[in-house]
Amino acid sequence: MGDVQARMEAALARLLPAKHMPPSRLHAAMRYATLEGGKRVRPLLAFAAGEVSSADPQRLEVAAAAVELIHAYSLVHDDLPCMDDDVLRRGKPTVHVEYDEATAMLVGDALQSLAFQLICEHRIADDAQRQLEMVKVLAAAAGSRGMAGGQQIDLEATGSALSLPELEFMHIHKTGALIRAAVMIGVACGKEISAEEKNKLDKFSKAIGLAFQVVDDVLDYDASSATLGKTAGKDSQQGKPTYVSLMGLPRARELAQELRAEAHAALESLGGRGRRLGELADFIVLRKF
């Protein structure tokens, strides 16, 4: 995991526009938003999925970077005053605090464009048609029926009482779609796999995407501000429905373990090729930060 994280840091540093390249304030802010931070969960998933199809790590770097840039852009926009109004992210001032709001908006916009540019301008799949499909998967995962749509549902849910299925619907869009894209794009970098195997990976992705959110809610509930690097307990303070607020802490912890078991079950038929994905499922559920 440390290897992939270090590799991704170097890849992102290389693939982002250089700081001195004009408009340099924008490029510096894009680097600030993306580098030196985060667990790189989506790149880790892309690399682990690449093991299923024996994908070339150089292709995976680009694919994983594209997914991570979409994630990074969403954090920058999500932190803005008109959204969550957060001043800290990964222990550092958020982009609009360090720079300004207008720059932060453009940082997000430009990171999104860059994700699509990268995934087109490097050869990362065996043929161009497959690569075009990867771009489509990423665009759909980012858009109004994916991540951006999930954020809209989240906005509308603040202060209202969601049912558990509604909460799940929100998270499938808000975080699940991009996590699924990381897995699907990672696996597409390598040899073709069967429809049956894709289906299993889809099930894995769904379980792990939800588990990630459940664990986030648990951590948000009981972690201190210091260890989480963002204002703890903020979601519940803002009246946002969480798994903990809807089902209580013990049941939320149980649910995370159930989803972890589901994720492992989905990997069974893949044998050794799914080993790293299984390790990531454990990491996601057992992490403390």
Binding interface with a copy of itself (CB under 8 A): 17, 21-23, 25-27, 30, 73-74, 77, 80, 82-83, 100-103, 105-106, 108-110, 112-114, 116-117, 120-121, 127-129, 131-133, 135-136, 138-140, 142-146, 148-149, 151-153, 155-156
CA 99 – CA 87 distance, rounded (Å):
12
* Closest CB to a copy of itself among residues 98, 109: 109
User: Shortest distance, CB of residue 62 to a copy of itself, whole angstroms?
Assistant: 13
Task: Say if CB 116 and CB 139 are below 8 A apart.
Answer: yes
d(CA 72, CA 82): 18
Taking the alpha carbons at both ends of the chain, their separation in whole angstroms is 15
Q: Residue 58 or 144: which CB sits closer to a copy of itself?
A: 144
Strand stretches in the chain, DSSP E: 88-89, 92-93
CA 282 to chain centre: 17
- Minimum gap (Å) between residue 138 Cβ and a copy of itself: 8
Closest separation in Å from C-beta 99 to a copy of itself: 10
Does a cis peptide bond (omega within 30 degrees of 0) precede residue 241? no
**Distance separating alpha carbons of residues 234 and 86, to the nearest angstrom:** 10
- In the complex with a copy of itself, the residue whose CB is nearer, 121 or 279, is 121
**Which of the 8 DSSP states describes residue 93?**
E
Q: Which is nearer to a copy of itself, 146 or 274 (CB)?
A: 146
Given the complex with a copy of itself, which of 19 and 251 has the nearer CB atom?
19
Tell me the closest approach of the beta carbon of residue 248 to a copy of itself, in angstroms. 28
Q: How far is the CB of 20 from a copy of itself (least distance, A)?
A: 13
Yes or no: say if 68 and 76 are a contact pair by the CB < 8 Å rule.
no
